[in-house]
Each structure stands twice: as C-alpha cells, then as structure tokens.
Chains A and B, each alone.
Chain A
Amino acid sequence: MTELIFFINQVVIAGAVLGSIYALGAIGITLIFGILRFAHFAHSELMTGGAFMAFLLASLFAAWGVHAPIPMGFVVLPLAMVLGAIFALGIDKGFYAPLRKRGAKPVTLLIASIGVTLMIQGLIRLFFGSGSYSFFENEPKDVFRFDMSALGSTRPLVITEPQILMIVVTAIAVIALHFFLTRSRLGKAMRAMADNADLAQVSGINTALVVRVTWIIAGALACMAGTMLALDVTLKPDLAFNIILPIFAAAIVGGLGQAYGAIAGGLLIGFAETLAVFNWSMVLKPLNTVLPEWLQLPQTLALVPTEYKLTVAFVILVVTLLVRPTGIFKGASS
C-alpha cells in the first residue's frame, strides 16, 4: 500500500499537473493552427509573459494588503488572463496581421513567430533579469498530507494547494471551452473556420472576428498555463521556452486543429514523462526479498534518466509521425 501511495504521489498527481499545463498550452497552439494554419512558436512566450503579468499583479495585490484564502496567483488569474488575451491580440495586430494582409505564406508567419519569441524573451530578461522568482515568497505554499495509515500505508498522500487548484481550474477551463465550441455561435464558427476556411468565408462568417476570438482564447489559456507552471515550479524567463517541444508534441499527437486532441495529447505526454522518469525501484523494492542475489534491483530503476526527460515527448512525437501523422483525433497532415 505504501508503494501505491508513493506511486500516486510521484506519478498520478505530478502527471496530472504537468499534463494540465501541456494541455492548456497545446489547445492554444492547435486552435491557432486550425484557424491561421501556422505553427505559432511564440506561444511559449505568451505563457511566460502571462506568468510574469500574473506575478506582477500578485505582488501588487500583496502590496495593497489584499489577503485571500487561496494563493495570490489564483486570485489574480482571471485578471491576468484578460491581460494575456489583450497581449495576444496586440501581438497578432502588430506582427502577424500585417503579414497576413500582404498574403504571406504560413511559413513566413512561422518565422515571424520566432522573431516575436526572441523579442518577448529579450524584453522579459531586460526587465526581470535571468534569475528566477517565486509566487510563494511572502506566503506559504500549503501542503496537504492525508494520512493513509487506515489503508495500511506508512506514507501520507501529499498534494500541495496549488496542485489541487490547478487540476480544478484546468477542468473548469476545459469544460467551459467545450461548451463554447459546441453551443455558442462563435464557437461553432471557429470550428467551421478550422474545418474549411474558404467555405466559412463564403457562408458570411466574419472571419476577422473569429481570428480575434481565437487569439483571445489562446492568449488567456496560455497565460493560465504559464501562471500554473510558475506556481508549480518557479518563474523564470525561459519558463515555457523549455517546454515548447512537449507542448507542440501534444498538439501534434492529438491532431493539429483538434481542441480535444490537444487535451488528450497534453495529458498523454504529461503522464508519459512522469512515468518514464519514475523510479520503479521504490515500488518494486519488496521484490528484492524474493529475487535471487544476482538479480537484486538497483537503487535507481527509471526507464529514462531525469536529464533525458525531454526525449520522452520527442519519442512519442516521432512514433506518432511514423504511425499516424494526423494524430489521434485526425487533424491536418498536409
């Protein structure tokens, strides 16, 4: 039982948190791809920038003496998401819209998004330096330990307050997105445009409006993902730049353009990464008593050493490209 609780602590909770973050990032990438047909690399910077905005707001609120029962990062999240959405709209207006207007190919937009990535990253580093920050400098990070001795475990079930909130908030966001896409006129128009942009235009759908809504959703969700990532670990300028590969892998594995696919892909990659670096010898230790001398389990028995965590997302990506390039939910392949 102790082993099971250990497994839950190390894999289930960590995987759910990581998967949520990947999923929220991947939804934005997949939506932008569906509507504008380009891989938006600067998405990582929407996440990092959003996290820094949330951080500034949280510090501001704390300075004003605002107290809340939940971590400040979550209190300011709605406001930060609004800013994140405006930020995303501004970037589109300033950098991508002029190129689209000129009739530039999606590849040009892709490179422009690299330029935007560098600009935002440069600005963040310029103002915040390259050190790391924590949302929990002035408030404690509550850790809940549920005693599991009733079930015969010597270890408690450990989960931090931000982790619980993260899973809850992600679930709310995903459900809200689902209702938006299936029930609302604009949400359906968004799906229509992702399905067939020419026909959407011919139907009289205001495509410029759909593009704006896409950036708003993508920006808000990216801000949410970035803030949550910063709450879970620490806030630094290359916060999301380092996880752009797993996020893109999640979007591709789920099928580019498919919002539900991005969620599935995000969770898949999140769990796969945590499972791959999980140290099995802790769980399998009891086997040592039955195994012969020459087959004793080593101290560390992870499928992949932690420093190669990144390879997991890459391997899943490559396998997807080889076996089913359209992804689980059959997205665009060409």
Chain B
Amino acid sequence: MIRRSLTLFAGLFVLILVIGWFMGVPFTSSRLVEAAAYSLIAMGLNIQWGYGGLFNFGIMGFMMLGGVAVTFISYPVNPQFWGSDGPWMLGRALIAFGAGALLVIAARQSHRIGIRGGWKMALTVLAWFIGYCVYRSQIDPAAAYIEANAGFVGGLGAHPVLGWLFGGVLAAGVAYIVGKICLGLRTDYLAIATIGISEIIRALVKNMDWLTRGTLTVSPIPWPTPLPQDYQAGGMDAQTALLSARGGFLLLVLVIFAVAMFLISRAYAGPWGRMMRAIRDNHISAASMGKNVTARQLEIFVFGSVLMGIGGAILVSFVQINDPSSYQPINHTFLIWVMVIVGGAGNNWGAVFGAVLIWLVWIISDPLAQLLFGTISHWSGQIGWGEIPDIQSRASQMRIFVLGAVITIALRFAPRGLIPEVVRREG
C-alpha cells in the first residue's frame, strides 16, 4: 500500500517536472500554489465524505465565503466609507436586524402568555414578515447610499492570514446552520440543501455590491508574504523575485496544510476517528450503541467546511482579485469531488494526491484539447469535411465532458480511488 502511494506520488512529481519543462517555471509555480490550496479543500471534502459519508455539493459557496472574508479583512480601509454616513446607516440596519430577531424570538415564546397552536404559528410567521420588512426598510437605503457615495465598505486592512482564519470561521457558521437543519434526515437532503446554499451565497456575493463590490470585483488584495515587486525593490531581477515571492507564499500554504494534515490524521487515528468510521459504516448500530450520530456528523461537516473556507480564501489572496462571477459549480464544487473520488475517499493522502493531479490535469487539458481539436480540424479540413468552427470555446467545454467521464469511470472501475482508504481492523 505504502509502496503504491510512493510510486504514485513519484509519478506526480515527474508530471510536475514535465509541466514545468513545457510550460515554464512561472506558470508551474502558480499552479503549485493553487494545487496546495485545492489540497486543503479536497481534504475538507474528504473529511466530510470520506470520513463522515456526508454529501456536500456546496463547496463553491464555502470557497466564496472564504474569498469574501479575506477581502474584507485584508483589503485596505476605505476612508470614503468611514467618512460618510454609511457606518451610521449600517448600524441602524443592524439594530433593525436585532429588533426583527427579537420580535421573532418573542413570537416563538408566545405560548408563555397562552397563545398556542395555529395562533402561535400565525404570530411567528407575522413576526418573521414584520422583522424582514423592518430590516429591508433600513438595509435597502443604506446599501444604495454606500454604493452611490463610497463604492463599497472596503476592508479592515488587517493581515491576510487573519482573513484566511475568518474565512474558516464564516464557513463554519454557515455549515453549522445548514448541518443543524439537514443532518439526521436523508443524506440526499444535505446534498440538495448545500447546492441551494451555495447558489444563494453566490447570488448574495454577486449582488450585495455595498459589501463585496459584486461583479465589479475587488483588487488588488494584499499577500501575506512579500510580493515579487517587494523583492524587486530590493534589487532582485524579475524572474528570481517572482519565484522567491511565490515560493514564500507556497511555503506558508504548505505550513497550514501540514498543520491541518497533522491534526486530522491524529484525530482520525484516535477514538474520535474510530467513532466516525463506526457511524459512517453503520449508522443504525452506532446510534443504538448510544453514540450521538447527528452531533458527530455536525462536527465533521463543520470541520470540513472550515478547510474549504480557508482554501477559498487562500486562492483569492493568491490571485489578488475577488471576482464573484468567476465561480462556477463545475469548476469549484464538482472538480473537488473528482479530486476526492479519483484520489481515494477516506484517505487524506489520496485526497491530496487527487487534488494535485486533477488540478494539473484540469489546467493542462485546456491547451491539450486545443491541440487535439486543432489537429482534428486540420485533418477534417484536408479531407474536405471542413474545419471545426470555434475551436477555442469548444475545446474548453470538452473538459466538462471529461470531468463527468472520469467520475463515472472511476465509480465503475476503481470505486475506492487510486490511494484507497486503509481498512483498519477494529475490535
């Protein structure tokens, strides 16, 4: 088993060298940083799906939360906003939100003053409605005012690593709410609910211009490590500066990755992991042994989502731009699933292997598909069938097909992945 993993990782290393040879070192170094971030995200999904058997089809949403979080924390302060009436209006909106929440809580407690059954239900619905209207009456003008006068709220100018952590916290919060509602029901419900929440997060981030600047995008987002420009200012040549800067960034991501890997492996080898496997493999018997299945699953769902939030934040930091319209379920949710399935669900190293491999394949498949289509087109043109129109866009669509094919083929012929879970004998 170990030998197989080592061989596979050695092969991966060779692949990286080959890509480096053909595509150049700057290209490859970028892809490696991204691959490290994706490894973190794939590990998050591996915890949820491989360890816990939980569906999360909303990875994109958690990544977006990370992106918004790091933008908000690390982007420089916007003095125009802080100097305007914006904060005051937002404060009022917050108060309105609090008032609405209080109203709903009060309505839910109305049985204490003797309101029961249908009346209580009606009162609760009414409270929700009034609370919502009160909040909207404050937030709408505030949003319009900020967008008109200050653009958007800007950031806090804090260190990006704080932003990454905040991304994790934000993702955890949303995961907690979704998990609280859906866990304990059919597993499919979680899949649908997560798709829903990620689409809603996307709609919010795209349209809440006052907070995220929406489709106008925010850039440049600062790096936690020195930028190439900083090295160049110190007298380095462009190439070395670029590599040093990216190397620094990669090192930081790898440190976070190592910490996460260490903590997870340790936890999974211990009693907590044993319990998780028991729950995943036999829901009912674990429940009858007195394990609180739903609470454990909630833990696992939140932990996994934290990694997704952090990974999403790192990616946004690295490319220095937060562009909500660049997020697609195919590229961000299902790509991660392919990584974990191909790599081997239930095995962290498998997930990491899958993440790096699939990310590289995904990236180089675009030029490869262009090449393939170009050749076919040239050939079909020669024999008189005419050339293929729009090679550029068609070739990139081909990748989606290949992604789907990889999932179905892997499920059919290698359902446990390339580096499968090590089945432990227990008890």
Whether a CB of chain B sits under 8 angstroms from the CB of A313 is yes
Structural contact, A249 and B192, CB atoms closer than 8 A:
yes
Residues from 111 to 141 in A contacting B, C-beta threshold 8 Å: 111-112, 114-123, 125-126, 129-130
Q: Given A38-B188, A107-B187 in contact, is the A115-B181 Cβ separation under 8 Å?
A: no
Q: Given A39-B192, A252-B192 in contact, is the A118-B397 Cβ separation under 8 Å?
A: no
Complexed CA–CA distance, A104 and B204 (Å) = 38
B residues within 8 A CB of A122?
A: 397-404
Whether a CB of chain B sits under 8 angstroms from the CB of A286 is no
B residues within 8 A CB of A289?
A: none
Residues from 389 to 416 in B contacting A, C-beta threshold 8 Å: 390, 393-394, 397-408, 411-412, 415
Q: Given A308-B203, A310-B199, A317-B196 in contact, is the A126-B394 Cβ separation under 8 Å?
A: yes
Structural contact, A318 and B412, CB atoms closer than 8 A:
no
Structural contact, A107 and B186, CB atoms closer than 8 A:
no
B residues within 8 A CB of A111?
A: 337, 341, 407, 411
Structural contact, B196 and A305, CB atoms closer than 8 A:
no
Structural contact, B203 and A334, CB atoms closer than 8 A:
no
Complexed CA–CA distance, A317 and B415 (Å) = 32
CB distance from B71 to the nearest CB of A (A): 20
Structural contact, A317 and B193, CB atoms closer than 8 A:
yes
Complexed CA–CA distance, A119 and B407 (Å) = 9
Structural contact, A245 and B196, CB atoms closer than 8 A:
yes
Picked from B337, B401, B406, B408, the residue with its CB within 8 Å of the CB of A95 is B408
CB distance from A294 to the nearest CB of B (A): 12
A residues within 8 A CB of B55?
A: 107, 110
Picked from A108, A119, A252, A334, the residue with its CB within 8 Å of the CB of B405 is A119
Whether a CB of chain B sits under 8 angstroms from the CB of A332 is yes
A residues within 8 A CB of B192?
A: 39, 245, 248-249, 252, 317
Structural contact, A129 and B394, CB atoms closer than 8 A:
yes
Structural contact, B401 and A114, CB atoms closer than 8 A:
no
B residues within 8 A CB of A314?
A: 193, 196-197, 199-200
Structural contact, A119 and B182, CB atoms closer than 8 A:
no
CB distance from A281 to the nearest CB of B (A): 13
Complexed CA–CA distance, A176 and B330 (Å) = 37
Complexed CA–CA distance, A33 and B196 (Å) = 19
CB distance from A129 to the nearest CB of B (A): 6
Complexed CA–CA distance, A249 and B182 (Å) = 13
Whether a CB of chain A sits under 8 angstroms from the CB of B223 is no
Q: Which of B197, B204, B411 has the most CB of A within 10 A?
A: B411
Residues from 336 to 361 in B contacting A, C-beta threshold 8 Å: 337, 341
CB distance from B133 to the nearest CB of A (A): 9
Structural contact, B196 and A310, CB atoms closer than 8 A:
yes
Whether a CB of chain B sits under 8 angstroms from the CB of A8 is no
A residues within 8 A CB of B334?
A: 114, 118
Complexed CA–CA distance, A235 and B415 (Å) = 35
Picked from A126, A248, A322, A334, the residue with its CB within 8 Å of the CB of B401 is A126
Picked from B181, B193, B394, B401, the residue with its CB within 8 Å of the CB of A118 is B401
Closest A residue to B330 by beta carbon equals A118
Structural contact, A308 and B196, CB atoms closer than 8 A:
no
Whether a CB of chain A sits under 8 angstroms from the CB of B206 is yes
**Majority secondary structure, A binding face:** helix
Whether a CB of chain A sits under 8 angstroms from the CB of B53 is yes
Whether a CB of chain A sits under 8 angstroms from the CB of B379 is no
A residues within 8 A CB of B406?
A: 115
CB distance from B286 to the nearest CB of A (A): 15
Picked from B188, B204, B397, the residue with its CB within 8 Å of the CB of A110 is B188
Whether a CB of chain B sits under 8 angstroms from the CB of A78 is no
Whether a CB of chain B sits under 8 angstroms from the CB of A293 is no
A residues within 8 A CB of B422?
A: none
Complexed CA–CA distance, A81 and B407 (Å) = 28
B residues within 8 A CB of A95?
A: 408
Whether a CB of chain B sits under 8 angstroms from the CB of A57 is no
Whether a CB of chain B sits under 8 angstroms from the CB of A182 is no
B residues within 8 A CB of A118?
A: 330, 334, 400-401, 403-404, 407
Whether a CB of chain A sits under 8 angstroms from the CB of B207 is yes
Structural contact, A308 and B207, CB atoms closer than 8 A:
yes
Whether a CB of chain A sits under 8 angstroms from the CB of B146 is no
Q: Mark B382-393, 1 if CB is under 8 A from A, else 0.
A: 000000001001
B residues within 8 A CB of A244?
A: 195
Closest A residue to B132 by beta carbon equals A303
Q: Mark B183-223, 1 if CB is under 8 A from A, else 0.
A: 00111110111011101100110110000000000000000
Closest A residue to B137 by beta carbon equals A298
Q: Mark A283-303, 1 if CB is under 8 A from B, else 0.
A: 000000000000000000000
B residues within 8 A CB of A307?
A: 203, 206-207
Complexed CA–CA distance, A325 and B415 (Å) = 31
Structural contact, B404 and A321, CB atoms closer than 8 A:
no
Whether a CB of chain B sits under 8 angstroms from the CB of A98 is yes
CB distance from B297 to the nearest CB of A (A): 14
Whether a CB of chain B sits under 8 angstroms from the CB of A206 is no
Structural contact, A126 and B196, CB atoms closer than 8 A:
no
Residues from 146 to 196 in B contacting A, C-beta threshold 8 Å: 181-182, 185-189, 191-193, 195-196
CB distance from A142 to the nearest CB of B (A): 33
Structural contact, A245 and B415, CB atoms closer than 8 A:
no
Complexed CA–CA distance, A313 and B199 (Å) = 11
A residues within 8 A CB of B393?
A: 129-130
CB distance from A108 to the nearest CB of B (A): 6
Whether a CB of chain B sits under 8 angstroms from the CB of A311 is yes
Structural contact, A115 and B199, CB atoms closer than 8 A:
no
Residues from 70 to 103 in A contacting B, C-beta threshold 8 Å: 95, 98-99
Residues from 75 to 111 in B contacting A, C-beta threshold 8 Å: none
Complexed CA–CA distance, A325 and B398 (Å) = 39
Complexed CA–CA distance, A111 and B412 (Å) = 11
Complexed CA–CA distance, A186 and B53 (Å) = 35
CB distance from B123 to the nearest CB of A (A): 16
13 A-B residue pairings within 8 Å (CB atoms): A111-B411, A114-B334, A114-B404, A116-B408, A118-B401, A121-B330, A122-B404, A126-B397, A245-B195, A245-B196, A308-B204, A318-B181, A332-B186
A-B contact sample (6 more), CB < 8 A, given A117-B404, A126-B401: A114-B404, A118-B407, A129-B397, A130-B397, A248-B195, A256-B186
Shortest beta-carbon contacts, A-B, top 10:
A122-B401, A118-B404, A115-B407, A119-B404, A122-B400, A125-B397, A115-B408, A39-B188, A314-B196, A115-B404
